[in-house]
Structure 1
């Protein structure tokens, strides 16, 4: 696969081998559809194999969002559909493990809302810069499925188990200041400074010893690899949820912009 084969990721080259990758569906807040979700599995190997790229910077097009979760029409295709769930499960796993396997440093400029697969990319980066006013949520439990995706492999490492459990079980939103305070992101900055700060960090990494930086990244990523079985289980639990009644209610509630009435939350009788 070549850069020109990507439909929803735009590429810009900066000095010193910094490659800027922009999630590019601004009309829907860079939400992931089936194609973009698949492209996020492919990006890391393509950039990793590029001899002209030393550091990868990922951001979202526009001022509103990094990536605002999955398209609801795409999510609906998964509900009750075991074949569709199997495809998405493999891709979700590939996003996580392909990011961990990418030798080159990944820096994210979280310029706005980040949910779902977009949040996975945002938080699995080696360095994450988030706008003070940006908001993130794992969001899965509001849809009636388990917090699978990336959350179980990295949130407890980043912010500790107490905070991870609270935010993953409630799906409360977190702004940039709180995300930095609890350790979910490396730094938060004013909105206008997010991308420049990310590019400055990337340029600093690009000027360093690439062998040393890549070896350090590989070693540190082994903490997350140790949690691989935990992630695999969480992802399987998430996908199983798409085959149940709560996911249908979660999707209908999201579309209707109302509080969900999950079947599993109703008392007997």
Structure 2
């Protein structure tokens, strides 16, 4: 498989383990239009790659992914129809993550926020640096958490806790996230690479067909939940893309001030 077509993702395959790195370190790996498009195709390519048995997803530099690029959000406000492509890609990202039969390990090297959190939480096993924080602050920018967050958080930590964090947008430290079952492990940052490599190697050396089929079986109920809710979730996010509160939040972010929401 030729991964050279990817410019925002660095894809390396070594000993049947593919490492996918979001590669915008100077921007904390926030998703712009190009990265979002590439995320909607990479997991399909990895499924087709017969030289890959295990996938690791991580970010370059200090962050896993700090969410969405604010300039890209402004573009979607200025040209509402452009969000149609974003909406379609958002569904493909989640569906392709679930359809990838090979185990996916999230190596959360730094903050995972918004879409970054969604990507991490839809992976099969999640290791995070103790210094990382995880959260879905869509509401902080006047957005519905429609790209998957509203679905995956309740699956992992229950509805009461999920709604608290989705309603407030508060970030959670990695150790607390592990304690409540949002992620698997919070580890010292200097140990993160080794812990992930050891676990990836264990899966690579395991009965890979049995592991794949176990993932398929385990994901059946999750897929049912996602397919039942994803269209509605992303439709509500599309509505808020055109809202006055979202426009105000984006403007406030760019002007480095506190947004004044009016519920419109």
Q: Specify the TM-score bucket, using the shorter chain as the normaliser.
A: over 0.9
| SS of residue in 1 equivalent to 2:4 | helix
Aligned length: 263
Q: Partners in 2 of 1:151 and 1:200 — Cα distance? A: 29
Matches within 5 A, 1:39-188: 39-62=38-61, 64-79=62-77, 81-188=79-186
Instruction: Check conservation: 1:59, 1:66, Cα contact below 8 A.
Output: yes
Matches within 5 A, 1:215-230: 215-227=213-225, 228-230=227-229
Note the aligned Cα RMSD (angstroms).
1.4
Instruction: Check conservation: 1:37, 1:117, Cα contact below 8 A.
Output: no
Matches within 5 A, 1:202-213: 202-213=200-211
Partner of 2:192: 194
Per-residue deviation, 1:177: 0.6
| SS of residue in 1 equivalent to 2:20 | strand
* 1:181-240 deviation line (CA, Å, top 9, x unaligned): 111111110112222212211111111112211111111111221212223211111111
Q: Partners in 2 of 1:28 and 1:37 — Cα distance? A: 14
Instruction: Check conservation: 1:10, 1:22, Cα contact below 8 A.
Output: yes
Unmatched runs of 5 consecutive residues or more in structure 1: none
Matched, 1:238 2:230: no
Per-residue deviation, 1:13: 2.7
Q: Partners in 2 of 1:219 and 1:81 — Cα distance? A: 41
Q: Partners in 2 of 1:106 and 1:36 — Cα distance? A: 19
